[in-house]
Amino acid sequence: MPFRKYNNRQQYLMKAIPKGFRKKLLVFGGEIVGQIEYAPAEVSGYPITGDNMIVMNCIWVLSRAKGHGLGRLLVQDMVKSEKLAAGFATIALENHWSPWFRRNQTEKLGFKPVDSIKVTHKIKHKEQVFSICLMWMPKSDNAKSPAWDGQKLLGGETFCLAHPLYRPQAWKGNVFDLK
């Protein structure tokens, strides 16, 4: 079957799109230079929960387009589009080898840490301890912070092959160990 390795992504999208999944592309100078992907917590790619919580699954801006506030523009558009949301949540990484989802980057976008766990990866860079942080940005003063299922997160995520926390389909069990 061609594209077999995208099965998990296809299954995720079939479940999430009818329930509010959004993906927006940023076009600058005639080319796609960034994107943001988000969904209500109930159908997010992460084990994050919260009342009227929108979870940002992914955001990126190409390095050649950085420095123009485009990441912040994508987040502002998400906040503006989700009028009924009480807040927004995502994950961030500290001391991880990937340039994606760095905590300091998500903080620049307006997110604040709520919780974190220290882990090691069972497949890559096995000796490197890094943190996975639950981040959030309340939309109102009375919004309740999100929660997450840290145990479920240890299994890795399967909604995006390029994600730093991706778990290969053939891998059985957790991809991460708590430290």
- Give the other-Cβ count within 10 Å of 44's Cβ: 28
The DSSP symbol for 159 reads S
Give the N- to C-terminal CA distance of the chain in Å, as an integer: 39
- For the segment 128-157, what is each residue's pLDDT rounded down to a tens digit? 999 999 999 999 888 999 999 988 888 888
Give the fold, CATH level 3, of 4-178.
Aminopeptidase (3.40.630)
For residues 112 and 173, which has the higher predicted lDDT (pLDDT)?
112
Provide the β-strand partners of residue 144: none
Share of the chain above pLDDT 90, in %: 61
* Closest to 54 in 3D by CA, of 125, 116, 136, 132: 136
What is the pTM assigned to this prediction?
0.90
The pLDDT of residue 21 is 96
Mean pLDDT over all residues of the chain?
A: 90
Q: Hey, where are the domains in the chain? A: 4-178
Q: Measured between alpha carbons, how far is 65 from 134 in angstroms, rounded to an integer? A: 27
The pLDDT of residue 1 is 37
State which amino acid sits at residue 27: V
CB burial string 83-120: b at 16+ within 10 A, e below: eebbbbbbbbbbebeeeebbbebbeebebeebebbebb
- For the segment 20-65, what is each residue's pLDDT rounded down to a tens digit? 999 999 998 899 999 999 999 999 999 999 999 999 999 999 988 8
Provide the β-strand partners of residue 87: 53, 138
Provide the β-strand partners of residue 61: 34
